[in-house]
Amino acid sequence: MTAPRLILASASPRRRELLASFGVPFTVVTAEVTEHEDPATDPRIMVAHNAALKADWVAARHPDCFVLGADTTVFLDGQALNKPADQTEARAMLRRLSGRTHTVFTGVTLRHQASGLRIDRGVASEVTFKVLTDETINAYLSQVHTLDKAGGYAIQEQGDLIIAGRQGSLSNIIGLPLEETKQILTNAGLLP
């Protein structure tokens, strides 16, 4: 059996769903790496680094496959809001985001070690939150598992409770910007 040509280097079920929308076959291999998550790092540099770190780790083990890596963070007040460690931190993040506009940055990377192909892209979108009461935050946290999501929220899950509006790519906010990813995969010959 031949190995699939495309591997997604991410454990994210949201990225898996978004990538599947292209109809191209792929498998998932989770990179065993420690991501850089210093909140003081420039978020564009952090997500680019982490996306490349994951893709490079998987590509080194599957040199004949194309490997897609991605990483997303939320940025507010000069600081990255990565995945919350617990419900207390998720609640604090939602309070910080309340009534404000923040930026969501995603780094997307494609690697093919055998040919030396290296493509890196960065995408930014903006999200504006409603003013959130403690009751709204509690209701949201009771309905949505937020510990695996940058910023402690998911726009696609009960977003009407917390989101006032957005600018830019919705799929970027979810975790994989589809327009840029489609362009990358098309340029690599993986999509028609």
The pLDDT tens digits for 41-58 are: 899 999 999 999 999 999
Q: pLDDT at residue 1 above 50? A: no
- The answer to whether position 24 is within a domain reads yes
- The answer to whether position 1 is within a domain reads no
Q: What is the pLDDT at residue 112?
A: 97
- The answer to whether position 100 is within a domain reads yes
Whether 160 is catalytic is: no
Q: Give SS3 for 129.
A: strand
Give the residue numbers spanning the domain of 56. 6-187
- The answer to whether position 192 is within a domain reads no
Instruction: Supply the CATH number for residue 133's domain.
Output: 3.90.950.10
- The answer to whether position 105 is within a domain reads yes
Task: Quote the number of domains for the chain.
Answer: 1
Distance CA 53, CA 31 (A): 8
Query: Of the listed 38, 56, 71, 148, which one is catalytic?
Result: 71
The model's pLDDT over 105-150, given as tens digits with 9 standing for 90+, comes to 999 999 999 999 999 999 999 999 999 999 999 999 999 999 989 9
Mean pLDDT lowest among 1-10, 96-105, 122-131, 177-186? 1-10
- The answer to whether position 116 is within a domain reads yes
The model's pLDDT over 76-94, given as tens digits with 9 standing for 90+, comes to 999 999 999 999 999 999 9
- The answer to whether position 44 is within a domain reads yes
**Pairing status of strand 27-28 against strand 6-8:** parallel
DSSP string, 64-95: TSEEEEEEEEEEETTEEE---SSHHHHHHHHH
